[in-house]
Structure 1
Amino acid sequence: MLDVLAFGSVVIDNVLVVRKFPAVNETVQVDKYRYTYGGAGANVAVAAARLGAKSGIFAVAGSDFKKTNYEKHLEKEGVDRRGLIPADFLMPRSFIVSKESSDDQILYYYENRKGTAKKLFENMELAIRLGNGSQVCHFSTGHFEFYYRLLKGGRLKSVVSFDPGQETFNYPYRVVRIIPYVHMLFMNNHEAKRIKELLKIKSLRQIEGPKLLCVSLGAQGSVILFKGEVYRIPAVRPSRLIDPTGAGDSHRAGFIVALLKGYDVKTAGRIASTVASFTIEAEGAQTSLPTWEKVVRRYEHFFKEKFPQPQTSWEETKRELLS
């Protein structure tokens, strides 16, 4: 059985690091450029594998998946690839303009969005089979109509985690349709505000469906709501600030893996913050992902305490999430 099955995408990221974002009709010098492996689904799967979890990915892999050595990369990282669906069109590309201590600007290119959707729906039964062979199914930026059809039927028996990301603004209706069917919902503060507007609620506590909510606040850390409690988690300081691309994905992976290892929600939040701190130390979402041993050392250094032993069990946390 897999620990984590990540639904999303495999993407070639083109990361451009700048000192300032360009205005309309303005040319800005790029300080650094890097071609890296990305895609929210793959980012989560690789991050979880680095932390010692058995992870897999469910996504459409384009015709250039092998030519770019992405397949060898996932094989090397130990990611289960049974859920990768071959296609005769190119993988998506993202162009990420990154400024230090700031949010990213992202341009996204799909070679064949309709073809991607067709491939996913043709492999619905594979998604159900792999999903039910996993402890946690994590859904990130991808094809939300497919996600909705998959989740609405109640055919997945695993814990469902959802991080809608920028799709909260691009496809808001599709995002709010999925929320009632998930157990853990991740978002940043901008997305949280938009979701409250869409659902016409004043507090995130009014969201129906997910038992656990996590709101990332960038340099201010994160807030986790679970079982009536509010946990405020500080952002762990990285050794250097280079590129925030993928920090949210590694945070989600760190949190899920920590829960699977038997840590309580507060400690899992701290571990997730520690994992995310590594991601922003290099260009690219998967470039500087840590092992569990590295996480332990940085956790102890930042929080000034010995790394704790698991305080509960995954089975207990799972029951609380599914109840």
Structure 2
Amino acid sequence: MKTICTGSIAYDYLMTFPGHFREHIVPERLESISLSFLVDSMVRQRGGVATNIAYTMALLGDRPIVFGTVGEDFEEYRQFLEAVGVDTRYIRVVPGVFTASFFANTDLDNNQICSFYPGAMTFARDFSLNELKDDQPGLVIISPNDPVAMDRYVAECKALGWRYIYDPSQQVVRVSGEELRRGVEGAFGLFVNEYEFELLQKHTGLSATSICARVPLVVVTLGAKGAIIFTAGQEFHIQAVKPKHIADPTGVGDAFRAGFVRGLQLGLDWVTCGQMGALAAAYCLEQKGPQSHVFTREEFVQRYRQNFDDHGALGVLLEDSINMVLED
């Protein structure tokens, strides 16, 4: 199953604040909030939702296609992606602009205050999925991107009869309720965190029950509490994998999606897909930056067994499916 990852492609500027944001917020003065945080470190990392998902999928043995727009400063990033196994043929360079940039400030509780500059991502609205007719996808991931592009890709997937996963994520606060509703209706899958799920319901006017009735697969991530999978009237609760240590939460949700989708590609059951997502998320959480984690397929299988062997037949599924396919 060939997977197309659409969405942001960006450089991440990650900062750490040696305190707690909550100690500097005055609830009675939220209408006139004005804050500046002196950070004690900053690094630039490769990021962007589409490329974050593709990176972890490549670690798991896939060669996903990234579809998006970047600036003239992208060439080194392209070489990195190709080296790990990501297909960059459909990443279009826009002359005269910079690649999108994400600025994240993280406090001691791993809370984040973030800003995003779209840069070349704005031009994604002019890049049609019809360009992919020679690479018929089994699945398209529509993740945070230029809002017009996201709406366009939803319409094009429907017109072309392509299955898509709708992952509005941070764009829930920017995309209109009508656009969000169009993305939900007709999607094969929906991925959101628990707060985004509440916002999605508020903005679309659809209840959780109504959304689950419209979308065959709904996955709600819950941070340290794991995730819930809703499908065909059933609920599956996925426990989080305890990280060896916590370095940075940036990109953890993207890693979860990558692990889950890779499980789908391998034809595994919903719970195993969720557990693969949870493990991929833990690897990401243990490193600073969304594309700094590294593991071999053998290491991934071994750590999966250490965390989920108590689930009976799932250990056998991994041995028969993941172990054979990924080590092929």
- Structure 1: runs of 5 or more not aligned: 314-323
Q: 1:223 to 1:261 in 2, by over 3 A?
A: same
Q: Is 2:193 the partner of 1:184?
A: no
Deviation larger for 165-174 or 153-162: 153-162
Q: Is 2:234 the partner of 1:229?
A: yes
Q: 1:145 to 1:129 in 2, by over 3 A?
A: farther
Name the counterpart of 1:319: none
Letter in 1 for 2:48: G
Residue of structure 2 aligned with 1:34, choices 31, 35, 43: 43
Q: Is 2:9 the partner of 1:6?
A: no
Q: 1:208 to 1:151 in 2, by over 3 A?
A: farther
Residue of structure 1 aligned with 2:117, choices 88, 98, 109: 109
Name the counterpart of 2:86: 79
Residue of structure 1 aligned with 2:250, choices 214, 239, 245: 245
TM-score, length basis structure 1: 0.86
Secondary structure of the residue aligned to 1:277 is: helix
Residue of structure 2 aligned with 1:94, choices 102, 106, 111: 102
Per-residue deviation, 1:197: 1.6
Give distance in 1, aligned partners of 2:71 and 2:5. Answer: 17
Letter in 2 for 1:140: S
Contact 1:264 1:311 in 2 (8 A): no
Contact 1:58 1:127 in 2 (8 A): no
Per-residue deviation, 1:295: 2.0
Give distance in 2, aligned partners of 1:116 and 1:134. Answer: 19
Name the counterpart of 2:169: 165
Per-residue deviation, 1:86: 1.4
Contact 1:183 1:211 in 2 (8 A): yes
Letter in 1 for 2:302: R
Give deviations 1:253-306, integer Å, cap 9, x for gaps: 100101111210011111110110010111110111434322212222222447
- Structure 2: runs of 5 or more not aligned: 25-32, 322-328
Name the counterpart of 2:263: 258
Per-residue deviation, 1:78: 1.1
Q: 1:31 to 1:293 in 2, by over 3 A?
A: farther
Deviation larger for 175-184 or 291-300: 291-300
Name the counterpart of 1:216: 221
Name the counterpart of 1:16: 15
Secondary structure of the residue aligned to 2:184 is: helix
Give distance in 1, aligned partners of 2:36 and 2:103. Answer: 16
Q: 1:213 to 1:104 in 2, by over 3 A?
A: same
Name the counterpart of 2:203: 198
Give deviations 1:178-235, integer Å, cap 9, x for gaps: 1112100000011111112223244345445320000011111100001111001111
Give deviations 1:95-154, integer Å, cap 9, x for gaps: 111234433221111235654433x2xx44214544xx2222111110232232333252
Secondary structure of the residue aligned to 2:230 is: strand
Contact 1:128 1:156 in 2 (8 A): no
Letter in 2 for 1:50: L
Secondary structure of the residue aligned to 1:256 is: helix
Secondary structure of the residue aligned to 1:244 is: coil
Give deviations 1:46-91, integer Å, cap 9, x for gaps: 111110012110000211111xx10111111111111111111110
Deviation larger for 222-231 or 2-11: 2-11
Residue of structure 1 aligned with 2:144, choices 141, 145, 160: 141
Q: 1:291 to 1:161 in 2, by over 3 A?
A: farther
Q: CA RMSD in A?
A: 2.3
TM-score, length basis structure 2: 0.85
Secondary structure of the residue aligned to 1:309 is: helix
Name the counterpart of 2:131: 126
Letter in 1 for 2:317: Q
Letter in 2 for 1:164: P
Name the counterpart of 2:325: none
